[in-house]
Amino acid sequence: MNCEKNIQATYELYHLIEKNEYDKVKELCHPDFKFYSSINSPLNADEFVTQEKGHMDAFPGFKMTVIETFAKEDKVAAYLTFSGVQSKTYLGLEPTHRPVYFSLMFMLTFKDGKVIENRAHYNGQDIMKQLGS
């Protein structure tokens, strides 16, 4: 798969998350998929989908916008922004009805046309601060 196709797949992945189409998200994941939101605790595709759905459900109608991507060989770096209002429980925090707006950086690795690894970088403390916690 070439760089352009990997970039297109990256846009599709985050578009599907935004649309809450998690079955299709899982289809974009390689059978050996690993997601890292921390260095030493990878999640498989099922765990990733469960975690993402749980987090995103707290912000109905959220927007996840891909701002820029860079690709080299089998890797895509994607810079995104997230905006939404917390109206359901998030990480044990009861709904605050406060808006959040933050940036994320992802490094995705592709194999056989699917995402085999996704590493996420974002400031979780900033999110909680925006929610008043």
Taking only the tens of pLDDT, the chain with its 133 residues reads 699 999 999 999 999 999 999 999 999 999 999 999 887 889 999 999 999 999 999 999 999 999 999 999 999 999 999 999 999 999 999 999 999 999 999 999 999 999 999 999 999 999 999 999 8
pLDDT of residue 40: 83
Instruction: Report the C-alpha gap between 78 and 66 in whole angstroms.
Output: 7
The structure's pTM equals: 0.93
User: Given its phi and psi angles, is residue 51 left (phi above 0), alpha (psi -120 to 50 degrees) or beta?
Assistant: alpha
User: Which tokens go with 35?
Assistant: 């997601």
Instruction: Report the C-alpha gap between 15 and 21 in whole angstroms.
Output: 9
pLDDT of residue 39: 79
